[in-house]
Structures are given as C-alpha cells and as structure tokens.
C-alpha cells in the first residue's frame, strides 16, 4: 500500500481554495506535499504563485503544517530556442520568489502548436540546448527540473522516451520527467511501450487524474480531467500500478483540470482527495 507520505496535491485539485487554506487542508489529510502553479487564476502569471502573500507568511504556513513545496507548474514552451531568454527570466523570477521555501522542482512543459514547422531533430536539439541553460540556473538555487511530456497531438514532446533522450543528450544531472497518466493515455503509451521504452529511474513525479467521458482519445482535453474515479476510462490507477511495480518510489500528485472543480468547497475537496487516495491504496 502506498503510504500517505507519498501523496501530493496539485492546486488544480482545489482551485477555489486560497493558498492559506489549502496548506492546512492537505496537512489535515496527512498529505505533506503540494504543487504550486502560475496559472491557477488564468494565463500564466508568476505573481500569482503565492496568491500574492509574502513569502515569509507562506513559509510560516508550510513550517507550521509540515508541508513541502514539491513543484511549481510551469515554465511553458520549454523546448523553443527562440523563447529561451523569456523562459530563463520567468524561471529566475520563480526561483527568487520561492528561494526561502525549500522548493524542490520546477516543471517544464513543451510547445503546443499545430503551426510548429520544426523537424523532430530541430525540436530535440532546441530542447537539449534549453535544458542545459535551465540546468545551470536551477543549480544556483539547488532546485531540480521536471520535464512533462504532453500527449496532445499538437505537442512537440509527447512521449516519455523523448524526454529521456533530451536529458541524456543534455548531459544534466538535475532533470527528471513527470509521468502524467492523462498524457500517457493521450500519447497511447501502451504497457508494451512502458516496459520496453520507459526507464522508471527518469521519473521524478507522477500526476494522476481521471477521465469519465467516453469521447475519442484525440478529442480529449484538460477540461475532461477529474479526480480519481473507479469509472476512469484511462485506468490511471493501473498505469500507476505499473510504474510502482517497475520500482518507482516517488510521489503521486493529483492533477485534475476541469473548471468544474472551481465549484468545490473545502468539504468537497477533502472528500475527493480522500476517495482518490483510497482508490490508489486499495489497488497498489
């Protein structure tokens, strides 16, 4: 059974709950890890990561509740060389505003664009060069990076083995991958693919969500993502089971995305989290 200490809450699971209430909420459930976001209230805006609270107040909340900031989501367009200066500026801003919070990781997401005309080799080359630059800046703050492959058809880095190759070619030691069950499903990462192509030692975090709508795989989007449910068409719990069985020992974070969750009050959020934890613990 997965110990409670290995669960994490992404703030997308409680988007209507302010940070000063989210931290004690997760602590009361026994969860010791949280993912912050720069897009919880709309378009990415780093000034919203801490809900405009002073870092000293956030640090006190974290310390009082024994909660750790596992990640900030996210630096976008991470594999676009023409965006490197903008991305480094954004990354430095994130690192500066959280330098007293013992932040562990920053999540990096690839480009999503149907108009991206780069070849696969160009995309990889730019991702490698960018990761090398990100790595140097992250090391100044003793923070690591997590690349999150996005399985959408317009994603430029869709598969976990592509992320592994970028890390290898970049030659960095402070980057791993996010294994997101939604994006595994979108990219159609089969169990055979997983066993033959995915090296679990590269996985630094697992994101869990459920999809209940039986629409076609390629028509799914973030709005279809909810907390875990026994009727999940992706069978996220089975994906997590495979990852765990392969030797993964890290955290499992709940990352739904549907705007419906903005209607959830604290009681509903706690119920959903507890049920999701139970589903994982009963099956892994």
Q: What is the pLDDT of residue 249?
A: 97
Confidence at 284, pLDDT banded by 50, 70, 90 = confident
Q: How far, rounded to the nearest angstrom, does the alpha carbon of residue 200 sit from its chain's CA centroid?
A: 16
Q: Is 198 left (phi over 0), alpha (psi -120 to 50) or beta?
A: beta
Distance in angstroms (rounded) separating the CA atoms of residues 80 and 212: 33
Q: Average of pLDDT values for 15-39?
A: 98
Domains and CATH numbers, the chain: 4-283 (3.20.20.150)
Average pLDDT for 181-198: 98
Both structure tokens of 239 = 């994906």
pLDDT average, residue stretch 10-30: 98
Mean pLDDT of the chain: 98
Q: What's the confidence (pLDDT) of residue 145?
A: 99
Residue 283 has pLDDT above 90, yes or no: no
In this structure, are residues 176 and 139 in contact, taking their beta carbons and an 8 Å threshold?
no
């Amino acid at each position: 059974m997965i110990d409670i200490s290995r669960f994490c809450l992404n703030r997308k699971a409680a988007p209507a709950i302010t940070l000063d209430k989210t931290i004690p909420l997760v602590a009361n459930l026994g969860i010791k890890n949280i993912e912050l976001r720069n897009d919880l209230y709309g378009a990415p805006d780093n000034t919203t990561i801490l809900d405009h609270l002073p870092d000293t107040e956030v640090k006190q909340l974290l310390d009082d509740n024994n909660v750790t900031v596992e990640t900030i989501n996210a630096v976008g367009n991470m594999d676009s060389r023409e965006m490197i200066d903008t991305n480094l500026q954004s990354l430095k801003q994130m690192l500066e505003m959280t330098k007293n919070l013992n932040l562990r990781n920053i999540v990096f997401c690839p480009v999503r664009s149907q108009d991206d005309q780069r070849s696969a080799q160009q995309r990889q080359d730019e991702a490698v060069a960018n990761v090398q630059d990100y790595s140097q800046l992250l090391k100044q703050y003793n923070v690591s990076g997590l690349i999150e492959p996005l399985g959408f058809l317009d994603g430029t880095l869709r598969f976990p083995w592509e992320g592994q190759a970028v890390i290898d070619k970049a030659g960095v030691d402070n980057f791993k991958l996010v294994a997101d069950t939604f994006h595994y499903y979108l990219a159609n990462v089969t169990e055979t693919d997983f066993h033959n192509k995915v090296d679990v030692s590269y996985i630094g975090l697992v994101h869990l969500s459920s999809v209940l709508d039986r629409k076609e795989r390629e028509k799914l989007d973030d709005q279809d993502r909810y907390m875990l449910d026994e009727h999940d068409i992706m069978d996220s719990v089975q994906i997590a089971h495979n990852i765990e069985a392969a030797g993964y020992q890290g955290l499992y974070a709940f990352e739904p995305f549907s705007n419906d969750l903005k209607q959830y009050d604290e009681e509903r959020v706690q119920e959903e989290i507890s049920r999701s934890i139970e589903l994982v613990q009963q099956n892994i």
